Chain A
Amino acid sequence: MKRKIILGVVLLIVVAGSIAAWKYFEKATNYADKEPDITITTKELVDAFDKDTASASKRFMDKIVRVTGIVQSFDSSAVVLSEEGNASSVVVGLDERNKESVSPLKVGAPVTLQGKFSGYSKSSADPDDLLSSLGTTINIDYGGVINKK
């Protein structure tokens, strides 16, 4: 009986330890590999925030967003999507694991990216606010390029 209890305790410690170790070493989610919560275009995304910031923020916060738009600029760490003649943009930070996915991109060409919505910034009426001239900025991070099949 005593042996069974000891065995049970040891087993419990091993299982709990394994779960703790797995949790500790678990890599951050690669959101570009997951199914998106929301699929949208750059224009629709910017419009949603320009129209009603509070409800848009509630709708998108922490969601996996798949966004399609025109590449304004890109490098191996981020891609900026925007509509022509509009200062507003969707900025997608690339997950280190997805850096290579930008190689086929071209400025002015359409692309679909996916990542986790991390926040937004809107123009303010404050004349001392230097960022107010930058339009609405939507931030998506942990991103990557989606290759449509």
Chain B
Amino acid sequence: MFKQSLVTLAALLLFTTAINAQGRYFTKTGKIDFFSKAPMEDIEAKNKTVTAVLDTKTGALQFEVQMKGFEFEKKLMQEHFNENYVESGKFPKATFKGSVANNSTVNYAKDGTYKVNVKGKMTIHGVTKEVEAPGTVKVNAGKIDATSTFNIQLSDYNISIPSVVKEKVSNTIRVTVDTKLEPLKG
């Protein structure tokens, strides 16, 4: 009887692991917005097809975004962004690879809102920088909403703003990340 229960338990454990691949959560439709505030113009762009994976066991976190997928209201802004600033033909993706530094303070099994600190390497325009940003993890009914807002300096990523448009494009860009992560089955 005991042996039979043990076998059932083992099978159940295996099954649960197979359902949720090692506690990983993902999205392919995350959102990243950026906002530039300059004296003469505000510029905003949205990307709605961001890929992200969070390993809740280790806190490892990874993002990937296609630069050509940023949507602008004006055609000229879209052209300048891709051709002159981020050179998306040459550097098609921006990536982040890092972790939730205080992962042990988040109880992914319990619904709630947790403050987190994310650290890692961000690559934009072919330049990789160590970054750190505050974020929020909201666990709700087996899904995770992960959000963060932080600033980046374009000059850190070798993106230079010509002096003629200095009044229109800010060197400081506010980045907002919003992802709704679902269990990764497999």
Contacts and interface: CB of A to CB of B under 8 A. Distances in A.
Contact of B51 (A94, A95, A121): A121
A78 B48 contact: yes
Given A75-B29, A80-B28, A119-B93, A93 B186 contact: no
Interface residues of B, number: 35
Interface in B21-57: 21, 24, 26, 28-29, 31, 46-49, 51, 53-55
A139 B53 contact: no
Interface in A103-129: 116, 118-119, 121, 129
B31 A77 contact: yes
B48 A28 contact: no
Contacts of B60: 130
A52 B74 CA distance: 34
Interface stretch (B63-71, B105-113, B123-131): B63-71
B49 A24 contact: no
B73 A27 contact: yes
Contacts of A91: 28-29, 49, 51
Contacts of A93: 29, 47-49, 69, 71
Given A28-B71, A78-B48, A139-B66, A134 B53 contact: yes
A119 B68 contact: yes
Contacts, number: 99
B74 A118 contact: no
17 contacts: A27-B73, A62-B68, A78-B29, A80-B28, A93-B69, A116-B68, A118-B69, A121-B51, A129-B62, A130-B55, A131-B53, A131-B64, A133-B26, A139-B49, A141-B49, A141-B69, A141-B71
Interface of A: 23-29, 62, 73, 75, 77-78, 80, 87, 89, 91-96, 116, 118-119, 121, 129-131, 133-134, 137, 139-142
Given A24-B74, A91-B29, A133-B186, 16 more contacts: A23-B76, A78-B29, A78-B49, A91-B49, A91-B51, A93-B48, A93-B71, A94-B48, A119-B66, A119-B93, A130-B60, A133-B24, A133-B26, A134-B26, A134-B184, A141-B48
